[in-house]
Amino acid sequence: MNEESLKKVVPVAEAVGMVLPHDITEIVKDEFKGRAFKKGHVIRPEDVEHLRRLGKEHIYVLRLSQDEIHENEAALLMAEALAGPGTEYSREIVEGKVSIVAATDGLLKINRESLYRLNVLGEVMCATLQDNTPVEKGEQVAASRMIPLVGKRKVVDEAVAIASSGTPIIQVRPLAKVEAGLVITGSEVFHGRIEDKFEQVLRDKLTRLGSDVIRVGFAPDDPGLIADEIRKCLEAGAELIVTSGGMSVDPDDVTRIGIKEAGAKAMVYGTPVLPGAMFLVGRIGRVPVLGVPACGMFHKITVLDLVLPRVLTGEFIGRDELATLGHGGLCRNCTRCQYPVCSFGKA
């Protein structure tokens, strides 16, 4: 649609009900300089004298048919439909677009299929951060607008319908604050041959996400004793079990067997993520169990950082969910880690 063909020069008194295609600035010497009327404003009767004081006897306006819609109205309609649970948006429109921000700390979830269906319409758009990105309250997670200044109302209606049906396109799920039990495995640590470093690493990750550690158990490379420590954590009220070490193929690495003996079901071992290929997920009843390989102690960011927030939103993680992590699952091991502002774990 040709914007210039829609612009008309009309006397101010005849412009009531018409739409301004641009900002109109007001200047009061030594007092004020700024926007008196913003682009998209629908001129009201009380605006006429104000415009005349600004020296406007004639102005450009947009003439819209019933089948047309201005970018500002379109942006607000789409933002309202797009902003799902855990998000909010400002009614302040900047250059035709509306920003959607996180209303809480949590994990950003994007319905990528619906987002694609909206963006393929052509005259409208929505750009987001990647699915499963950890975000903080107030952080911008998406922005939306209609691309032309004036577009077809039916396209915007279709975009709103897509965004309003099924799973929300944009939502931020808060992380549950759980009480976790840690089981540190390995005969070398249990017998005091080396100092354990894993406990603090795991504590720090859980604390950073708002959860607490209520019990820490230590076990040698013995499946029965590992299972006993897991059960003690459960008896203490643990809502999440995290084990460390003993996940490789060496004969003494028996943590997986211990987790199974403790009653774990739906166990999945192995992920297409580096670091973290020998990671394990499972459940004992309703309690998630995460088996972290030794890389979790040596690398700042691993598969645990991708999976743990999703577990804390109540999401079930199985083979399918882990398999999707392969695309983007290779850490670049940057000298200065900036996760999550990087490609790791982003499909």
pLDDT, position 331: 96
pLDDT along the chain (347 residues), means of 10: 58 85 78 78 90 87 82 94 97 86 98 98 96 96 92 96 96 98 94 92 97 97 97 98 91 92 97 97 98 93 97 97 97 94 91
Block residue for tokens 């954590």: 233
pLDDT, position 266: 95
pLDDT, position 7: 57
Please name each of the domains of the chain with its CATH number: 3-62 (3.90.105.10), 68-173 (3.90.1170.30), 179-326 (3.40.980.10)
pLDDT, position 150: 84
pLDDT, position 5: 42
User: pTM of this prediction?
Assistant: 0.83
